Amino acid sequence: MFGNPSGRDEIQKSFENELRVITKLCKSGSHAHIVSVFRLGEVKDSALFYIDMELCDGNLDQFMRERGSAITLNDVWNVMLQITSGLAHIHSQGEVHRDIKPRNSEIPLNCSC
């Protein structure tokens, strides 16, 4: 959840763009490497917006920190294939992911990649 009463218009514009992209992706069907979004909304009479999405127990940043030097070339290859598969789907819908980083790459912490 995020909000900022003084920057409400900017936040609402950003949120509405996210809603447009998510709606478009949902209409194109689910994808194994894109987190499912169930609902987007605004808390009534407030400047708080929320995204109700699939619960993931970890992300690539955590995975890399926990595995450290034990990450194999096979792990890297498999994770990158999954990320690029999701990105390819997003791009096929005419959209661009504007915030690609390890923290935004959700993966199970017990991933056997």
Task: Out of 9, 57, 75, 99, pick the active-site residue.
Answer: 99
User: Using 50, 70 and 90 to split pLDDT, how confident is the model at 77?
Assistant: very high
- Percentage of residues of the chain with pLDDT beyond 70: 88
pLDDT of residue 2: 52
Q: Record the pTM.
A: 0.73
- Measured on CA atoms in the order 80, 85, 87, 88, is the torsion positive or negative? positive
pLDDT at 53 over 80: yes
Tell me which amino acid residue 75 is. Answer: D
Q: Is 75 a catalytic residue?
A: no
Count Cβ atoms below 10 Å from residue 73 Cβ, excluding itself: 7
- Tokens 């996210």 found at: 18
